[in-house]
Amino acid sequence: MTEKEIIKNTIAKYKGRKIDTFEHIPEISSYCRNYYRGDDGDILFAECDDDCYTAWYICDKNDPTNWRKRVYFGDSFYSPDHEELIEERIEYP
């Protein structure tokens, strides 16, 4: 599967999902760099900026901590006024 197909499939699966629906994996997580169990055995990596923004990646299931095998697919923004949801990745020109 190409990276573009992985992104398309992952966005379709997780766009609009509440962050609190994922199971946190504390064994491989650290401050501002957290791993979660997604659907169908997916491992998700969330890297936050210590403020309100988080970038989301789908990981290689066999090697989830290898940053070279992560594919960026979306973002979320924290606000006390609304639930934190994953949104489609931001495209830059």
pLDDT category of residue 93 using cuts at 50, 70 and 90: very low
The DSSP element (H or E) to which 67 belongs, if any, is none
What is the reported pLDDT for 42?
93
Give the distance from CA 79 to its chain's centroid: 18
Predicted confidence (pLDDT) per residue in 19-67, tens digit? 999 999 999 999 999 999 999 999 999 999 988 899 999 999 889 889 8
What is the SS3 assignment for 47? strand
List 85's β-bridge partners, or say none. Answer: 18
**Confidence band (pLDDT; 50, 70, 90) for 92?**
very low
Q: The pTM is what? A: 0.85
Q: Amino acid identity, residue 45?
A: F
Sheet of 87-88: strand order equals: 23-24, 33-37, 43-48, 53-58, 71-77, 87-88
